[in-house]
Every structure is written in structure tokens, then in C-alpha cells.
A and B are shown apart, each in its own frame.
Chain A
Amino acid sequence: MRIRLWGTRGSIAVSGPDTLRYGGDTAAVEVQCAGGNLLILDGGSGIRALKSPYEAVDRVDILLSHLHMDHVQGLPFFPPLLDPDIEVHVWGPGSTTQTLRERISRYLSPPLFPVRVRELANVAFHDVLPGEFEIGDIRITADLITHPGATLGYRLAEHNSTVAYMPDHEPALGHPRFPGLAEWTSGFALAEGADLLIHDAQYRDDEYVDRVGWGHSSISHLAAFTDMTRPRRLVTFHHDPAHTDDDLDLLHETLGAQIANGSELVAGVAGLIVDT
């Protein structure tokens, strides 16, 4: 699989000279599969910039982790959703009372947005529950992870290559002595031994203290989660909108010093391409 990060920022898109290197667009990750499938993880503002790959395919699959705005705001600006010649499948979590389509309709309808879901061209919605399903040659494992509201993490497997995606995740939530046992750790099964783990890296430790329960990781918790799950490579994601490029350089320096199990740390900068 070839992974390209189009948007790595969390919470809200940002712009300006202080965020040019890491990028300001919110969550969108392109996955080019060896078998030819094109998958996109989340539909944040970064999906708008994703241009050329879909011109060569007649089907695009978008996997949504959850429906917070920074993960869906770019959807109506993604041209294939308005192109009848491209089949778009949107996968993601329903709620306990509403389907995925109904939930997305709350955003894609006036007064929040002028275009309605029914006006999209050739789109199918699929509610995802914890479990496995396949798209082409890709086997996808989905599981609910700790973040406010129904939020899925994904593990993508193609041949011997695995990618785990948990953009918004607070594995230490309420845990008095994190890290604890693997079986009681949210997201463990998805991330364990992956070739590539793309994971929430939003807060410095001192920031996390005032944001417990917001659904994101501190750097120390991410380091502990990485040591526990032992991915070959860790790509940081969901950068705090208040963090400048220089802040993020320091944050990665701190994180790199804490990871002890040999996982390679890769800074999640917009435009990054990783082959697995």
C-alpha cells in the first residue's frame, strides 16, 4: 500500500506561515492499494486537495473514523461525490439510533450546507460495526475506540502489509495506571504489530492534564501505546491547531526520546508518502 497524508491537522483547519511544514488541512489520508483500489481515510478539509488518483479509477471508498467536523467537512468539496461516472462508497459508524447516512445528512443539509445528501451523484453509505469486511483485496478490521461518540479505528491488510489508523484516540482515558494490560487497552488489537500506525498525537503532557476526556492522546501516552503495540513505524496525526511547526518539532523530539521499543517515528506532515 502507498499512503499519502493530505491533511494531518486536528480539530480545525489552520493556515499561516507557522503551519506550512506540517500543514493546516484536517484529516484525509489516501491509500493506494497494490490491487488498484483507492481508499481514503476520513473526509476532512485535506480531501479537497486530493486530485489526481481518482481520475484513473471508477470507484472510491471513503472510510470515516467518526463524524466530527474535522473528519467530514471536506466531503462535499471532493469532486467524485458530484461525478456520476465515479462510484463512491462511504463507510463509517452509525449511532445507536441513526444510520451513517442520516447522521451525515445533518451536516449535508440546510442551514449548515446548501447541498443535500440526495443531491450527491453516485454515493452509497455503509454502516460499519466492529468486525471485518473487504474492499477488493483489502481486508479491513474496524473496532470502536475511546473518543467521544461512536468512533472507529481501522486496520487495513493487503497481502503481508498492515496499516492501522486511529486519528482520534485517548487510550489512557480513565486509566489510573496507563499502560496496563493489553486486553483492557482500547485500540490494542488494531495496532498490534502493524507495519504502519497512524495515531493521534495531539497534546503535550502538560496540555493533556486540562483536556482529559476530550478523546486525544498525550505524547507520553502515545509513546506507551506504541511500546505496547510495537508497530514498525509510527506516523503522528491530528496535530493541535494551536501548535506551530516549531512546537511540533519539539513535540516529536520529546516523543522520539520516549519510544523505547524500536518503532520508527515519522512526523505526520502533509504530503508525506509512505510505502508499506
Chain B
Amino acid sequence: MRNQHPVEMILFRQVASYLTIPIWMMDDAGNLAYYNEPAEQLLGVRFDDVGPLHADKIGEVFEFTDLEGEPLPDDELPIVLALKTKSPHHGELRFRRPDDGWRDISVTAIPIEGQGDRFVGVFATFWEIRA
């Protein structure tokens, strides 16, 4: 049998595809599974052009720093913290778009758990911080 996402991820992706807020989803192994069209607008790249992405490859596509421009280790990203701790995390950071433009964003990441304490992934919503 081939791999298939858990139904909680499948349904959440369906919901995300209808939302107007940016949504980023990772599976339980930290692989980028999906982001929606509002996220594509903010990130500056279509999901189909880069994803899905293995956890080790995400840093090659997206560059993150703190708001002062200092490099931000992967394990300090809210979504990675949510993945590791299985609890919600929030933070502010800066990322570089493929067009080299930088954006400051606020991120809230929340674990997705199914019945039986099954941890199936994490989703994050994010929005631009405007001065």
C-alpha cells in the first residue's frame, strides 16, 4: 500500500483550501505537506512549484531570520517548536521570498492531534507585520 495522509490531515487541507487566511501544514515528520493560495501570495511561490518538501529541504527554499535580520535556527521556528513539543507556539520572524523581497510575519503554529492521542502534524497561520 502506498502512503496516504491521515484523514484529519486530508480534511484540514480541504478546509485550508477554502480559507482566505494563509495556512501552512506539515506532517508528523516535519515534511511540508501543503500550503494554501493565501500563503502562496505571501510566500511568493506556488506550492506546486516547491512542494511537498522533505523536512531537510525546507531550509533550502525558505530563508528565515529574526526581525533584526539575524539567522534563525530551524528549531526556533514556531512551527518546528510546535512539531517538537506538540503544543502551540507563536513568534515573529522575517523570511526571504524568491523575488528577494523580505517580509516580516507573525506566526501561530498549532499541533493537529486525532483521537487516541495520535499526533498527525502541525498547521500554522501567519500574517504580515506592517509598520
The chain A residues found within 8 Å of chain B, CB to CB, are 93-96, 127, 129-130, 141, 143-146, 150, 173-176, 182-186, 188-190, 192-193
Q: Closest approach, in angstroms, between the C-beta of A186 and any C-beta of chain B?
A: 5
Q: Check A146 against B7 for contact (C-beta < 8 Å).
A: yes
In whole angstroms, how far apart are the Cα atoms of A145 and B10 in the complex?
10
Report, nearest first, the 9 A-B pairs whose CB atoms are least far apart.
A174-B14, A189-B4, A129-B116, A144-B7, A96-B115, A189-B1, A188-B4, A183-B4, A186-B7
Chain B residues 77-108 with CB under 8 Å of chain A are none
Q: Check B11 against A182 for contact (C-beta < 8 Å).
A: no
In the assembled complex, B41 has its CB within 8 A of some CB on chain A = no
Q: Check A174 against B2 for contact (C-beta < 8 Å).
A: no
Q: Closest approach, in angstroms, between the C-beta of B43 and any C-beta of chain A?
A: 20
Q: Closest approach, in angstroms, between the C-beta of B64 and any C-beta of chain A?
A: 27
In the assembled complex, B17 has its CB within 8 A of some CB on chain A = yes
In the assembled complex, B5 has its CB within 8 A of some CB on chain A = yes
| 15 additional contacts (CB under 8 A) given A183-B5, A184-B10 | A94-B115, A95-B115, A96-B115, A129-B118, A130-B116, A143-B6, A144-B6, A144-B114, A146-B10, A174-B17, A176-B17, A186-B7, A189-B1, A189-B3, A190-B1
Q: Which of B3, B6, B11 contacts A130 (CB 8 A)?
A: B6
Nearest neighbor of A173 in chain B, beta-carbon distance: B14
Contact residues of A: prevailing secondary structure: loop
Q: Check A189 against B2 for contact (C-beta < 8 Å).
A: yes
Q: Check A192 against B7 for contact (C-beta < 8 Å).
A: no
| List of B residues within 8 angstroms of A129 by Cβ | 115-116, 118
CB within 8 Å for A144 and B2 given contacts A96-B115, A129-B118, A150-B115: no
Q: Check A174 against B5 for contact (C-beta < 8 Å).
A: no
Q: Which of A93, A173, A188, A193 contacts B11 (CB 8 A)?
A: A173
Q: Closest approach, in angstroms, between the C-beta of B18 and any C-beta of chain A?
A: 7
| List of B residues within 8 angstroms of A146 by Cβ | 7, 10-11
In the assembled complex, B8 has its CB within 8 A of some CB on chain A = yes
Could you show 10 A-B contacts with beta carbons less than 8 Å apart?
A95-B115, A144-B6, A146-B10, A174-B18, A175-B14, A182-B4, A183-B4, A184-B13, A185-B4, A189-B4
Q: Check A188 against B7 for contact (C-beta < 8 Å).
A: no
In whole angstroms, how far apart are the Cα atoms of A185 and B13 in the complex?
11
| List of A residues within 8 angstroms of B15 by Cβ | 174
Q: Mark B50-91, 1 if CB is under 8 A from A, else 0.
A: 000000000000000000000000000000000000000000
Q: Which of B5, B7, B17 contacts A145 (CB 8 A)?
A: B7
Q: Closest approach, in angstroms, between the C-beta of B131 and any C-beta of chain A?
A: 36
| List of B residues within 8 angstroms of A93 by Cβ | 115
In whole angstroms, how far apart are the Cα atoms of A176 and B17 in the complex?
9
CB within 8 Å for A192 and B1 given contacts A95-B115, A129-B115, A143-B7: yes
